[in-house]
């Protein structure tokens, strides 16, 4: 059994009642990055009449569909520095563009980003798309420039067993009962004269 020493406590810490071994994801490296993907699309992608004839400026409403967008590990290449790898992520941002008619068209924009991360043997690179914004601007040639800007969380993780001092299992407190209004309400019947 390992020796347990509590962290700093203002009034001192009571000794733990037990020492537990728990399985958790340890973060070995983590960074956030903004990436942008742009694509010019025309009638081959947009429904007919989405950009009205003669329209050479302006914009169309759009939104990034985070549930359908993906960020995956594409390649891991050694940098020559111990356990530091260049990790390339492939990103597919799904943007929903709304035409003046109300028709919604999904357009997938692709890009990559490469970052050096501490990635020792046994760790797994991951990518999470935290948020995204987009724009859909009509160009002078009658085509549409669609752009998505995404905020990414890039990490290397590994499942580890962590030894922690504990005070036992957490016991949930009873739920508070919601206040019930007056029953029946005083205005159940109209006033009598």
pLDDT tens-digit readout, 74-114: 999 999 999 999 999 999 999 999 999 999 999 999 999 99
Tell me how far apart the alpha carbons of residues 19 and 82 are, in angstroms, rounded to a whole number.
Answer: 34
Tell me how far apart the alpha carbons of residues 18 and 42 are, in angstroms, rounded to a whole number.
Answer: 65
Count other C-beta atoms under 10 Å from residue 136's C-beta: 26
Tell me how far apart the alpha carbons of residues 113 and 71 are, in angstroms, rounded to a whole number.
Answer: 10
> Is position 1 within any domain?
no
- Which of the four pLDDT bands, split at 50, 70 and 90, describes residue 184? low
Tell me how far apart the alpha carbons of residues 83 and 115 are, in angstroms, rounded to a whole number.
Answer: 13
> Is position 83 within any domain?
yes
Instruction: At 85, give phi and psi (nearest 5°).
Output: -120, 150
> Is position 181 within any domain?
no
Is the separation of the CB atoms in 79 and 98 below 8 Å?
Answer: no
Predicted TM-score (pTM) of the model is 0.76
Tokens at residue 119, please? 């990635």
> Is position 131 within any domain?
yes
Q: Running DSSP on this structure, what letter comes out for residue 175?
A: P
Highest-pLDDT range among 18-22, 51-55, 131-135: 131-135
Tell me how far apart the alpha carbons of residues 35 and 150 are, in angstroms, rounded to a whole number.
Answer: 5
> Is position 22 within any domain?
no
| Residue 131 confidence (pLDDT) | 95
Domain count for the chain: 1
Find tokens 């007056």 and name the residue. Answer: 182
Tokens at residue 60, please? 């169309």
Instruction: Give residue 130's domain range.
Output: 27-166
Count other C-beta atoms under 10 Å from residue 9's C-beta: 8
> Is position 172 within any domain?
no
> Is position 191 within any domain?
no
Tell me how far apart the alpha carbons of residues 96 and 93 are, in angstroms, rounded to a whole number.
Answer: 10
Is the separation of the CB atoms in 123 and 87 below 8 Å?
Answer: no
């Amino acid at each position: 059994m390992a020796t347990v020493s509590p962290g700093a406590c203002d009034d001192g810490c009571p000794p733990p009642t037990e020492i537990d071994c728990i399985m958790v994801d340890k973060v070995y490296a983590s960074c956030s990055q903004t990436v942008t993907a742009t694509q010019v699309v025309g009638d081959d992608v947009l429904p007919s009449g989405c950009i009205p004839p003669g329209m050479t400026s302006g914009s169309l409403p759009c939104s990034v569909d985070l549930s359908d967008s993906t960020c995956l590990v594409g390649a891991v290449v050694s940098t020559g520095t111990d356990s530091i790898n260049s990790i390339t992520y492939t990103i597919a941002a799904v943007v929903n563009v709304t035409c003046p008619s109300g028709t919604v068209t999904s357009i997938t924009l692709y890009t990559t980003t490469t970052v050096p991360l501490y990635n020792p043997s046994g760790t797994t690179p991951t990518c999470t798309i935290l948020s995204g914004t987009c724009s859909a601007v009509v160009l002078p040639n009658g085509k549409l420039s669609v752009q998505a800007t995404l905020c990414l969380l890039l990490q290397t993780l590994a499942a580890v067993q962590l030894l922690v001092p504990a005070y036992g299992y957490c016991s949930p407190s009873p739920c508070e009962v919601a206040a019930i209004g007056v029953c029946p309400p005083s205005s159940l019947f109209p006033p009598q004269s």
